């Protein structure tokens, strides 16, 4: 996984790698973006969990995103952290991270359950025991997508 801000046009607005990783670990949701065989773009907001060098997403076992990933596993993923709209200054104070990677639908049951547990730790830390029971009961109706991160970068604007 390579942190690479070289393509960010505004080099004065770079987000450092440590904050970019923190944002990936704490953001509530991200936008998964894909392109199908007809070159039609598709972006969808999803809950996710960051785990060292990958992202896990849970979903149903059928649907458009899975159909697209079957034919094109190249994806982009974006998260937005702090945002402060400043209408009187005609600008926005913000921070964001964007990454590229390969998406895989996980078939290994142990990795799938581990991903569900990581998601519970992030989104339902006070209900992990009940959540794991629910995860086991709905396991056959749940797919896990792992995005192996190739590159990521971060940008921010701080308005003083």
Query: Which residues, including other chains, have CB under 8 Å from residue 5's CB and lie 6 or more apart?
Result: 11, 14, 15, 153, 154, 155
Looking at residue 126, the DSSP 8-state letter turns out to be T
pLDDT tens digits along 33-46: 999 889 999 999 99
- Mean pLDDT value of segment 82-104: 87
Q: What is the pLDDT of residue 158?
A: 81
Rounded to whole angstroms, the Cα distance separating 133 from 64 reads 28
Give the domain 2-107+144-154 fold.
Pnp Oxidase; Chain A (2.30.110)
**Spans of all domains in the chain:** 2-107+144-154
- Mean pLDDT value of segment 124-145: 88
This prediction has a pTM of: 0.90
Rounded to whole angstroms, the Cα distance separating 123 from 72 reads 29
- Mean pLDDT value of segment 94-112: 94
């Amino acid at each position: 996984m390579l942190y690479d801000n070289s393509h960010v046009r505004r080099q004065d607005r770079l987000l450092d790698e440590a904050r970019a990783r923190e944002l990936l670990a704490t953001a509530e949701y991200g936008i998964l973006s894909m392109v199908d065989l007809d070159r039609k773009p598709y972006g969808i907001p999803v809950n996710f969990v960051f785990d060292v060098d990958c992202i896990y997403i849970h979903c149903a076992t059928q649907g458009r995103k899975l159909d697209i990933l079957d034919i094109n596993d190249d994806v982009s993923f974006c998260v937005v952290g702090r945002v402060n709209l400043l209408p009187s200054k005609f600008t926005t104070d913000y921070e964001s991270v964007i990454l590229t990677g390969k998406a895989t639908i996980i078939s290994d049951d142990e990795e799938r359950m581990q991903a569900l547990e990581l998601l519970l730790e992030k989104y339902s830390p006070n209900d992990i025991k009940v959540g794991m029971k629910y995860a086991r009961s709905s396991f056959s109706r749940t797919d896990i997508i792992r995005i192996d991160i190739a590159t990521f970068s971060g940008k921010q604007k701080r308005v003083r």
